[in-house]
Amino acid sequence: MPPHPATETAATETAATETAATAGPALAQADPHAIDTLAALEALMGQPGDASLHKEVPYVHPTYRAMIEAAPFAVLATTGPGGLDASPRGDPPGFVQLLDDKTLLLPERRGNNRADSLRNILTDPRVAVLFLIPGVGETLRVNGRARISVAPELLARFVVNGQPPKCVIVVDVDTVFFQCARAIQRSRLWDAVPAGTPRPVPTPGAILAAITHDAFDGAAYDEALPTRQQATLY
């Protein structure tokens, strides 16, 4: 991927440069077993095979288009002044559309209004998108540069139940390639969960109550959450 032009302020650039210059040595001193050079990393990992190199292309190949059209879920990764962010996106399969083989369109639906991804895109357009397809071990990775649009013709492409998205994230594609199935196989992500399996983690309300030392009414939040989510999906 070609170098991306700087988009942050001089002060931020200076801070980032200073951090990069000191982070490596500091980490090495803290951990004598740290892998902190490219040569050491390549010696550890070995060289990629031919398939790992040939699968990467600078556009959405028709076989990759099929994966995007089958995916009901994706993770959008962005970066900005506050650091990195990864945010889930989901809708019926094909919810991410292709304007052409170099341009993806992601609808921004209703949510919690934090807009972390959108805030990041305003300051640094570099993004990565990971597509997941239920029952399929391979995932699809797309890297590119994004912009935010409220063009009426784009919003109209994503109307559901009479509701358009808030905006559309337009991604100019740099690279596309599939990821092998090992992570999905090891995690057994698509294995069916038996009916009646207890929830293995706290509920959203319980999390909020714990974080706020019970200043937040977690029980009331959990009780109202299903209705609120269904009413605000689109």
The pLDDT of residue 5: 37
Residue at a domain's end among 169, 187, 205: 187
Structural domain includes residue 46 = no
- Decide if pLDDT at 220 tops 50: yes
- Decide if pLDDT at 3 tops 60: no
Question: Taking the model in full, what pTM does it have?
Answer: 0.82
Least confident of 26-30, 182-186, 225-229: 26-30
Q: Quick one: 182 and 229 in the same domain?
A: no
Q: Quick one: 172 and 232 in the same domain?
A: no
Q: Quick one: 126 and 158 in the same domain?
A: yes
3-state DSSP assignment of residue 107: strand
Q: How many CB atoms are located within 10 Å of the residue 98 CB?
A: 17
**pLDDT band at residue 28, thresholds of 50, 70 and 90?**
low
Q: Quick one: 99 and 126 in the same domain?
A: yes
- Decide if pLDDT at 12 tops 60: no
**pLDDT band at residue 25, thresholds of 50, 70 and 90?**
low
Q: Quick one: 111 and 148 in the same domain?
A: yes
All residues at 6 or more sequence positions from 196 whose CB lies less than 8 Å from its CB, including other chains: none
Could you tell me if residue 46 is left (phi over 0), alpha (psi between -120 and 50 degrees) or otherwise beta? Answer: left
Structural domain includes residue 233 = yes
pLDDT tens, 135-151? 999 999 999 999 999 99
The pLDDT of residue 23: 56
In whole angstroms, what is the distance from residue 77 CA to residue 5 CA? 19
CATH of the domain at 64: 2.30.110.10
Phi and psi at residue 90, to the nearest 5°: -155, 150
**pLDDT band at residue 106, thresholds of 50, 70 and 90?**
very high
Structural domain includes residue 212 = yes
Amino acid at 9: T
Structural domain includes residue 33 = no
Give residue for tokens 């397809």: 133
> What residues make up the domain containing 65?
53-187
Q: Quick one: 113 and 213 in the same domain?
A: no
Answer positive or negative: Cα dihedral of 7, 8, 11, 13: negative
Q: Quick one: 118 and 92 in the same domain?
A: yes
Number of domains in the chain: 2
Q: Quick one: 169 and 200 in the same domain?
A: no
Q: Quick one: 127 and 224 in the same domain?
A: no
